Amino acid sequence: MTATIESPRSGRIAPQYRRSGGSKGNFEMIAWLFMRLSGVVLVVLIFGHLFVNLMVGEGIHAIDFGFVAGKWADPFWQFWDLAMLWLAMLHGTNGVRTIINDYAEKTSTRRWLKTVLYAAAVVIILLGTLVIFTFDPCPVVNGVALPGGFCPA
């Protein structure tokens, strides 16, 4: 008589010990990986942002409407700032999501806090994206250029 011994874990596994096929899929692993990848890119984008805006020339004294207009006249800075906006907001929102999951013990509290968080993230990402791409360096109201604009002479 030969006894057949099943290889480990090949038999029935209680549902709570299964490693795949859960309802969440591999979302948490993707989120974990996103934090590392976006983190590296954000170090470059944000250090560049701080250096160009605060360290060069007159630094903070130079920042006014004309400074922003000058930067966003160039698609390079438009896409730099767009990438920074999206990556930083997604990175930050996922970080705060983790913190809510860690400290809010009641299911209803977690749900409420995360609803507010996601609503704020959507509003800020859409607002920022619209501002970058609908920006007008020379705003005109009723045929009159607004003071402080960056209008061609």
Q: Enumerate binding residues for another protein (CB under 8 A).
A: 36, 39-40, 42-43, 46-47, 50, 54-55, 58-61, 63-65, 68-69, 85, 88-89, 92-93, 95-96, 99, 120, 124, 127-128, 130-131, 134-135, 139, 146-150
Of the pair 12, 36, the CB lying nearest another protein is at 36
Q: Any idea what DSSP says for residue 136?
A: -
Query: Tokens representing 94?
Result: 């996922």
State the DSSP H helix or E strand holding residue 141, giving kind and residue range, or none if neither.
Answer: strand 140-141
State the DSSP H helix or E strand holding residue 76, giving kind and residue range, or none if neither.
Answer: helix 75-103
How far out from the chain centre does Cα 83 lie?
A: 8
Nearest distance from C-beta of residue 72 to another protein, angstroms: 8
Of the pair 83, 128, the CB lying nearest another protein is at 128
Other CB atoms closer than 10 Å to residue 81's CB: what's the count? 19
Q: Which residues contact residue 98 at a Cβ distance below 8 angstroms, ignoring those fewer than 6 apart?
A: none
Of the pair 42, 83, the CB lying nearest another protein is at 42
Nearest distance from C-beta of residue 23 to another protein, angstroms: 26
Of the pair 110, 139, the CB lying nearest another protein is at 139
Nearest to 87 by CA among 117, 43, 148, 118: 43
One-letter identity of residue 148 = G
Nearest distance from C-beta of residue 147 to another protein, angstroms: 6
Nearest distance from C-beta of residue 20 to another protein, angstroms: 21
